Amino acid sequence: MTSVRNNAVSAALLLGWVIFGCLNSSVLADVAQKSSEKSQNPDSVDIDYYDESSPENMKVPGKPAPTLMPYFEEEKKTVYAKEDTKVVLHCPAKNYNESQHLIMWFKSNNTITTGREIIVDAALGYHLDNDMNLIIDKVSDKTKGEYHCAIMPQDVRMKIFLEIGEEPKVDHNGQAMVSASALCLMLALLVRELSFGIVSLDKFF
């Protein structure tokens, strides 16, 4: 009876070892197959660990995020030009970087350019130079008016008024004559008040 029980136990142990060996061989074969596939395609990514929603997997835009804040030293200016002549409207932006910013030109609320692309009627004679300044071939009633040079994406703008005619000249001689007349008037009043005793020189010395 004991011999039969021992034989049964031995058979059970032997069967267990056979099953364990088969399972172990299957696992090792699967691992070897995956290792072989990975070695043949080293750039493959385990999809179990890939998350498209993670920030590092988001698409990078064409231009880097702006790090410079553009600005203008003056918010607006007026440019004078004779009719039928060429004029250049300058866009003197500070902290402008072509890799981070885009220059756009507007006339009133109408877009003239986006970057280097001109999107208005060519008959109006708009062009851009290498510094993104706006060139107008012929100044006329159609091209005069209010312009905006805008730096995107911050939308920082400078307003430029284009007027037909010559820039008004400041008469410095006239200003000097007015100043001299005002000074003479003040002295005359002072002498009058001194002569009538309204004021005394003691207040001045």
The per-residue pLDDT for range 3-60, each reduced to its tens digit, is: 444 454 455 544 454 455 544 454 444 544 555 554 454 444 343 333 444 333 333 3
Single-letter code of the amino acid located at 107: K
pLDDT of 56: 38
**pLDDT more than 70, % of the chain:** 53
In the DSSP assignment, the letter for residue 175 is H
pLDDT of 176: 47
pLDDT of 54: 38
- Rounded mean pLDDT of 51-71? 58
Decide which of 3.40.710.10, 3.40.50.150, 1.10.3720.10, 2.60.40.10 is the CATH code for 76-164: 2.60.40.10
The closest of 128, 158, 130, 131 to 146, measured between CA atoms, is 158
pLDDT of 169: 84
Cβ neighbours for 156, distance < 8 A, ≥ 6 positions apart: 69, 70, 71, 72, 93, 150
What is the rounded distance in angstroms from the CA atom of residue 78 to the CA atom of residue 82? 14
Confidence of residue 67 (pLDDT cuts 50, 70, 90): confident
Quick check: 174 pLDDT over 90? no
- Rounded mean pLDDT of 132-137? 97
Confidence of residue 159 (pLDDT cuts 50, 70, 90): very high
Enter the tokens of residue 202: 């003691």
If one compares 166 and 45, the residue with the highest pLDDT of the two is: 166
Residue 145 near residue 78 (C-beta atoms within 8 A):
no
Helix H or strand E encompassing 178: helix 172-195
Confidence of residue 79 (pLDDT cuts 50, 70, 90): very high
Q: Which of 140-144, 180-184, 196-200 has the lowest mean pLDDT?
A: 196-200
Confidence of residue 66 (pLDDT cuts 50, 70, 90): confident
Confidence of residue 109 (pLDDT cuts 50, 70, 90): confident
- Rounded mean pLDDT of 91-109? 95
Quick check: 80 pLDDT over 60? yes
Q: Edge-to-edge, what's the strand order for the sheet holding 110-114?
A: 76-81, 156-164, 145-152, 102-107, 110-114, 117-118
pLDDT of 191: 63
